[in-house]
Amino acid sequence: MKDLFTEKQLNPLASIEDWEDDLLKRYPEETKEKEEYRNYEDSERVDTVREFYKLNHTYQTYDFVTQKEANFLKFDKKEMSLWEAVDFLNTLVDDSDPDTSLDQLQHLLQTSEAIRADGHPDWFVLTGFMHDMGKVLCLFGEPQWAVVGDTFPVGCQHSDKIVYPEFFQANPDSTDERYNTKYGVYEPNCGLDKVKMSWGHDEYLYQMMKDYLPEEALYMIRYHSFYPQHKENAYAHLMTEHDHEMFKWVDKFNPYDLYSKVPTPPDAKALRPYYEDLVAKYLPSTLKF
């Protein structure tokens, strides 16, 4: 991968969190003023987000996803506890985020503590705590556009509800008769479990966690970046009634992720015993990444 792309193409964003900045502009929470969060009008940032999606939409093909699944879903890159993974993820601390100087652990704790404060089940709290763990893909050499970004089905026609749909013109699947029709390789209402999604941290972590967490949590992890559906309803024709029911949980999760950042850092030391017990309740002592 590194031999095929320049550093700018591998990492067009100043930070992988710039993707969330863009989400907040596109989907501001009604109860908060947009200006309260990551307010930036810098044209350079807008340009980098556009470049990010140009690369993402050009290279996220059905074959690309298949290759990534074959590579990363062997989970043979590293074995570590969840706490070691958090430390590993902390090397992605975002120095450019205008809202917070918190490291990844503190961001995860802010998300999970907001969920906990609202009285949700402990597996929901754990989901908030670990939802970004799949971003370790960046540390395994993956380009940003294959780690974060709005996700979408591959193997069928790209919806015009996906952000920057014009960039799909350069995607080979757009002119491939196998993949460029409404249903492509799928059947009507076949179910999202039969649909390949663009590659990124959501699918990677879902595949890692699918034997450990309740189905509701797995939907949150797997589809929380699937904005073309849970915000735009662009792929209902591939979903079952069960998918629609489970997406109610995705809808519950997303505001905690996007709108939980506050200036006061959580007390990670005081909170750790609770999260150690919670992690031990659901997960093995080490995980394969």
Taking the alpha carbons of 14, 228, 24, 130 in that order, is the dihedral positive or negative?
A: negative
Could you tell me which residue, 45 or 254, shows the higher pLDDT?
254
Residue extents of the structural domains in the chain: 7-284
pLDDT digits (tens, 9 = 90+) for 15-68: 777 777 778 788 776 444 444 444 434 556 678 889 999 999 999 999 999 999
Q: What are phi and psi of 153, to 5 degrees?
A: -65, 145
In angstroms, the CA 181 to CA 206 distance is: 27
Give the pair of three-digit tokens for residue 252.
Answer: 């519950």
pLDDT at residue number 148: 93
Work out the number of other CB atoms within 10 angstroms of the CB of residue 218.
20
Query: Does the structure show a pLDDT above 60 at 132?
Result: yes
In angstroms, the CA 209 to CA 221 distance is: 9
Question: Among residues 194, 196, 202, 209, which one has the least CA distance to residue 150?
Answer: 202
pLDDT at residue number 15: 78
Provide the H-helix boundaries in 131-210: 201-209
SS3 9: helix
Q: Which helix (H) or strand (E) holds 125?
A: helix 122-130
